[in-house]
Amino acid sequence: MIRRRSTAWMWAEACQTLARTERLRQQFFEIEADAGESASAWQAPVDIFENGRELLVWVALPGVAPEHVEIALDGATLHISGVRRLRIEPRSALIRRLEIPHGRLERRIELPSPGYALVACDARDGCLRLRLRRS
């Protein structure tokens, strides 16, 4: 009886781990086409708030310097791209866990309508804050 319980427990743990892994993969990674080639990129999570004529977009970019981020508006699409480099501190350290995504990031966000202009951009608390105003 004890053996059956431990086997069921191990199986349940394995299934939960696989489910968590799949959720993280879906949240952060997607294959994007760029200049005719496929490359792996992670997607930064965003929060978007609308207030009258403005949109406030918060983009979570842990460890990404604001100067390494590119922002473009194309019609009703906001395109954010950049790179987060993997830093191992100190160099002799063993990696025990990597949960914060690294590498190329790319996020395309469909806006409610075309005609927005970027009026402000700043970094705060590990997030990029964009303010877009309807022109």
Please report where in the chains the tokens 């004890």 appear, as a residue.
Answer: 2
Using CA atoms, how far apart are residues 66 and 129, in angstroms rounded to an integer? 10
How far is the C-alpha of 132 from the C-alpha of 73, rounded, in Å? 10
Break the chain into its structural domains and give their ranges: 41-134
Find, among 131, 95, 96, 135, the residue nearest to 115 by Cα: 135
pLDDT per residue as tens digits for the range 67-125: 889 999 999 999 999 999 888 777 788 888 888 888 899 999 999 989 999 999 999 88
CA pair distance 57, 107, nearest whole angstrom: 12
Fold held by 41-134: Immunoglobulin-like (2.60.40)
How many other CB atoms sit within 10 Å of the CB of residue 64?
21
pLDDT band at 26, cuts 50/70/90? Answer: low
